[in-house]
Amino acid sequence: MAADRKSSDCYRSHDDAMMMHENLSSKTNEAQEHS
């Protein structure tokens, strides 16, 4: 039970990291387009 919760937390944090990375990438792309 605890192991399942721990692994799900890992997946959630990984998803958050991927979303943050995508947000940063899109912001960088927008900045490059405007420059």
Tens-digit pLDDT string for the chain (35 aa): 566 777 778 778 888 888 888 988 888 888 887 66
Tokens of 31: 């900045």
Residue 18: what pLDDT? 87
For residue 9, the SS3 value is helix
* Distance (Å, whole) CA 32 – CA 10: 33
